[in-house]
Amino acid sequence: MKLKYQILATCCVLLMASCYKDKGNYIYKVPEDITISGVETSYDKVSLVDKISIDPKVNSTDPDAKFSYWWGIYETNVQGSAPKVDTIGRAKTLDYLVTQPAKGWVLVFGAKNEHTGFSKIITANVNVVTQFTRGWYIMKSDGGKTDVDLFLTPSGIAPQSRLENVFSLVNGKKLDGEASLFGFYSNYKSNVTGAYANTRALFILSDKDASVVNINTFKEIHGINDLFYETPSAKKPGSISESSQANYFVNDGHLHSVYSMSANVGLFGGKQLRDDNNSPYSLSKYFMAYPFENPFFFDETSSSFVSATGTGSVLSAVTDAPETEMPANRNNKELLFMGLKSTYPYVGIALFRDKTDPSLKIISTISPSNYAVKIVNDTLASTDKLNKAERFGLIIEDENILYFSVGQEIWSWNLSNGVEQLQYTVPAGEKITFIRHRKYTGSNATEQPFYYNYMLIGTTSGGSYKVRAFRKTSGNLATTPDFTMEGKGSVGDVIYIAPPVSNYTYPNSY
């Protein structure tokens, strides 16, 4: 009987199916399209100063759409765990004070249509900086002490405000001595984050003191007393440089190094020996250096060029390259200036004075090849203005020009043909203390308002300084500077720092 009812039920189902007619009336619902506008792809913000203020526009193809919103932020480059998104808002409009530490972050915005359940999420990069990570830094000396002023550039390369004495403001002290040289390295090792890792670090050198600071906070990482494994008995900084993947520090004429391509604690080792006989030597403050080439220094004791390695304990000997016009060793010369002209090819310019005949001055082009140098000389005439030069500023990579000062005048020397030309005369009463070529360009579109190519000229008068930023065309200075930075003291060096600036941005040189 049970089987009989099962057969009857099956027949009923088949009968109903045979009576159904397909009328072809298919209806497919078009997916909802949510669009969001008004959110930039990236933002640069100063921690504890700037707000992220955004009022996005959200639209939907659903005429009955009713949205809920949320904002979040998370850290990039998190290793070993998934990034944690912190919710920072639930309204459509965001007005958020940035409190995150200086590094890269990702901003997230989500809009959900409560009617349909559909959501749209977009992201934007947020480069969080501090007030110390963008602007012009001016190292200045006043009353035998050295400090640093910061000129802020929030929207373009021309400064809009000044923070005075930021080094002593943050660290509670000034450096002893006269301002000398900056050095910026993004691969310097420190434990400012709790573990030894690459740190964006700025070296500040005077003629009697030194400090290296964390550029994010401007807090001192090391002073000269704890910058070396052994505290130097004499504090006479000459230069800081990077070459052959190492940092080199000249103090009291002796070379110290730390190899940056291996784990280290950011301390410089003992002084390198001149040779296996431990001969006396004293290096000039001038040098040639580039991260991917060998460094070159000049030993004033023997009038000889020397080189080095970051892991060695003895200076490397330098030999004569073919067709050199002056020997690299014991050439009886005094080095008055040396700077880097270009990195590729690796070329430097030097000005020498003969020790036997001090009236003989020679300007030389130095072309290194491994541990050999080719030196091509041009003897100066007694009537050449360059013969009386006091300050120097070599153009790096661009025109073949050396700038120099004589009294209150800025002159140019064409390195190709020896032609001299007066470029600028500073106002009466001002003394020229500094000349430097600085250039910052790149492919990052967000940085274009901050790109520049300037000859910077520093003067002092009545206890105050001025730094004029000149454009140049074919090696000639503009008649007036783009802007002038002013403060108290006398200028030793100037550098522009921005988040993308690294140890490759500015070739090391005086």
pLDDT of the residue at 81: 53
Range of lowest pLDDT (16-25, 426-435, 496-505): 16-25
Model confidence at 79: pLDDT above 50: no
**How many of the other CB atoms lie within 10 Å of CB of 232?**
20
pLDDT tens digits, 353-367: 999 999 999 999 999
Assign 324 to helix, strand or coil.
coil
pLDDT of the residue at 4: 44
Residue partners of 338: CB distance under 8 A and separation at least 6: 284, 286, 287, 288, 298, 348, 349, 350, 351, 366, 510
pLDDT tens digits, 325-337: 999 999 999 999 9
Model confidence at 45: pLDDT above 90: no
| Distance from chain centroid for Cα 58 | 39
Q: What is the pTM of this model?
A: 0.80
pLDDT of the residue at 365: 98
pLDDT tens digits, 278-296: 999 999 999 999 999 999 9
Rounded distance between C-alpha atoms, residue 128 and residue 216, angstroms = 10
Q: How far apart are the first and last CA of the chain?
A: 109
Rounded distance between C-alpha atoms, residue 413 and residue 397, angstroms = 16
**How many of the other CB atoms lie within 10 Å of CB of 388?**
15
pLDDT tens digits, 169-223: 999 999 999 999 999 999 899 998 788 888 999 999 999 999 999 998 999 999 9
- The closest of 239, 203, 208, 241 to 222, measured between CA atoms, is 203
pLDDT tens digits, 466-482: 999 999 999 999 999 99
Rounded distance between C-alpha atoms, residue 54 and residue 40, angstroms = 9
Residue partners of 337: CB distance under 8 A and separation at least 6: 286, 349, 350, 351, 389, 392, 510
Phi, psi of 69 (to 5 degrees): -135, 160
Rounded distance between C-alpha atoms, residue 88 and residue 319, angstroms = 63
What stretches of 410-457 show up as alpha helix (H) in DSSP? none
CA dist 337 → 216, 241, 363, 365, 419 (Å): 33, 16, 9, 12, 19
Q: Which two tokens stand for residue 226?
A: 């704890």
Assign 187 to helix, strand or coil.
strand
Q: CATH homologous superfamily of domain 34-129?
A: Cadherins (2.60.40.60)
Rounded distance between C-alpha atoms, residue 490 and residue 391, angstroms = 14
Q: Per-residue confidence at 300, pLDDT binned at 50, 70, 90?
A: very high
Model confidence at 501: pLDDT above 60: yes
Domain boundaries, the chain: 34-129
What average pLDDT score do residues 115-133 get? 91
